[in-house]
Chain A
Amino acid sequence: MTPLAVSIAGAIASFTLVLVVLELIRSHRLRERYALLWLATGLTLTGLSAWREGLNTIAGWVGVRGYPPAVLFAVGILFILAVLLHYSTVISRLSDQNVMLAQRLALLEERLGDDATA
């Protein structure tokens, strides 16, 4: 069984993540679209930390004997990988769009004549 202190600390830390993400959305510093994965991460980890029997059961399913909280680490790492992969796709899209913007700007300047580049 997971030590109680680990469960409490895990639940508090995960739930803090949820609150921070919500505050970032509220203050317009994080778009909902990019917040969803973070919220899923925080809520899942909060749930797994608080639901101690469940964590035990899942640890049994995946063959983790002796120290169930290892499942928390595994799930956390999986989510972080998902977030990173998501951001890689976002960065790829942004860099494509940046190229298009620069090209469109160059074409526009050419159309406006030399004055625009002075």
Chain B
Amino acid sequence: MRGPVPDTAVTTSPAGALRGLSDLRRVAIVPALNEAGALPAVIDELRAFDPGLDVVVVDDGSVDRTAAVARSMGARVLRLPFNLGIGGAVQTGFRFAFENDYDLAVRVDGDGQHDPSQLGLLIAPVLAGEADIVVGSRFAADADGYRSSRTRRIGIRLLARVVSGIVGQRVTDTTSGFQALNKHGIALFARDYPHDYPEVEATVMVFRHRLRLIEVPVSMRERGSGRSSITSLRSVYYMVKVLLAIFVGLFRRNVVPQEDAR
């Protein structure tokens, strides 16, 4: 294992301890762009957490051996013909989960920054029926050694404020891609998912569809390999774009509770 791994006993709950999990069809959606280096460890850790978890790697137009590596480890691979960006890539995974009738989906990034051994924390509230979508937040409790560029941290905070104000519930980490979803969450995201920098808009969307979203504190690791899709320079552009999207989204009507679309 690479990077700092949290050593508290609470964060490493084996999937077997989660009552009712084995009855569900469950899938891990792993978006990956040029992550041939980090992917094997991620897949191994997913299997170590829960051997019954189907792993689907969404290869977002990688130019390295990402798809081949994933296939050689027995994962399903959805290879996009060209780079769609993280939103389009992740939604491909949600569509796969929806069409194959999965009960539970978790999203774990292919770069290794999400620690699969903490998935129990995300899955438990979904199993208990307390939430449709559970997001792992770096800031919900004490920010555990999370480091990133200053611009990005400020951006993340500002977005969290704006989103919290709009949805009327405290949201601390609107940019986290470490998530667990039930069927309602899968159906919503399969149908409609934002582009580019999706988590912020998606959070607002979830509340407008009256799905229940909660955060649980997690710690994230340094990236294993590869680079963030969001550099400091582009952060400003994304901030403007996302704020515009949220603002305009407020004026959309006919946002109705999402029923199963089939």
Q: Are A36 and B252 in contact, with the CB atoms below 8 A? A: no
Q: Verify if A31 is at the interface (C-beta below 8 Å from B).
A: yes
Cβ–Cβ contact A39 & B244, under 8 A: yes
Q: CB < 8 Å: which of A32, A39, A97, A100 contacts B245?
A: A32
For chains A and B in complex, what number of residue pairs have CB atoms within 8 angstroms? 29
Contact B244 A32 (CB under 8 A): yes
List residues of chain B with CB within 8 A of the CB of A32.
241, 244-245, 248
Q: Are B248 and A36 in contact (CB under 8 A)?
A: no
The answer on a CB contact under 8 Å between A33 and B195 is: yes
Contact at B244–A35, with CB atoms within 8 Å? Answer: yes
Do A22 and B248 have beta carbons less than 8 Å apart?
A: yes
Among B82, B240, B251, the residue within 8 A (CB) of A36 is B240
Interface string of A61-74 (1 = CB under 8 A from B): 00000000000000
Is B196 part of the binding interface, using a Cβ–Cβ cutoff of 8 Å? Answer: yes
Give which listed residue, A33, A35, A36, A101, contacts B81 with CB less than 8 A. A101
A26, A96, A100: the one contacting B251 at CB < 8 Å is A26
- Interchain nearest-CB distance for A102 vs B (Å): 10
A17 at interface, CB cutoff 8 A:
no
At the interface, yes or no: A86 with Cβ under 8 Å from chain B? Answer: no
Interface pair B244/A36, CB less than 8 Å apart: yes
Contact, CB under 8 Å: A97 / B244: no
Is chain A's interface secondary structure helix, strand, loop, or mixed overall? Answer: helix
Min CB gap B192→A, angstroms: 10
Q: Which residues of A contact B251 (CB under 8 A)?
A: 22, 26
Q: A100 CA to B248 CA in the complex, in Å?
A: 33
Task: Identify A26's interface contact among B82, B240, B248, CB under 8 A.
Answer: B248
Residues of chain B with a CB closer than 8 A to A101's CB? 81
**Which chain B residues border A33 with CB–CB below 8 Å?**
195-196, 241
The distance from the CB of A105 to the nearest CB of chain B, in whole angstroms, is 9
CA distance A97 to B82 in the complex (A): 7
Chain B residues whose CB sits within 8 angstroms of the CB of A36 once the complex forms: 237, 240-241, 244
CB within 8 Å of B: which A1-46 residues: 22, 25-26, 31-33, 35-36, 39
- Contact residues in A for B240 (Cβ distance below 8 Å): 36
Instruction: List residues of chain A with CB within 8 A of the CB of B244.
Output: 25, 32, 35-36, 39
- A-contacting residues of B (Cβ < 8 Å)? 81-82, 195-196, 237, 240-241, 244-245, 248, 251-252
- Where the two chains meet, the residues of A that have a C-beta atom closer than 8 Å to any C-beta of B are 22, 25-26, 31-33, 35-36, 39, 96-97, 100-101, 104
- Interchain residue pairs with CB less than 8 A apart (6): A26-B248, A33-B196, A35-B244, A36-B240, A100-B81, A104-B81
